[in-house]
Amino acid sequence: MSDLNHSLYNDFPQYAERIRQLKQEDENFARLASEYHKLDHSVRGLEMRDIPTSDENFEQMKLRRVQLKDQILRMLQ
């Protein structure tokens, strides 16, 4: 079980101001950040319930979260 908060602000504190700016100015970034936030919230909720990691849907959710984070990081840089 993981209790780490994977919010964009926690994972990329060096980009906090850029995250705020892009959320306001870039519709695509705001959409991706929102999707990431919702997905991260769902994944962490399932992790807290000790969902087995072999569950295919759960694994797909975690993979999508990583993909979104990578895409967001590229936009921040």
69, amino acid identity? K
pLDDT tens digits along 13-45: 999 999 999 999 999 999 999 999 999 998 888
pTM of the model: 0.82
Q: Is the pLDDT reported for residue 2 higher than 60?
A: no
User: Helices 27-48 and 56-76 sit at what angle, rounded to 10 degrees?
Assistant: 140
pLDDT one-digit tens code per residue, 38-69: 999 988 887 787 766 668 888 899 999 999 99
What's residue 14's pLDDT?
97
5: CB partners within 8 A, 6+ apart? 44
Residue 69, pLDDT score:
96
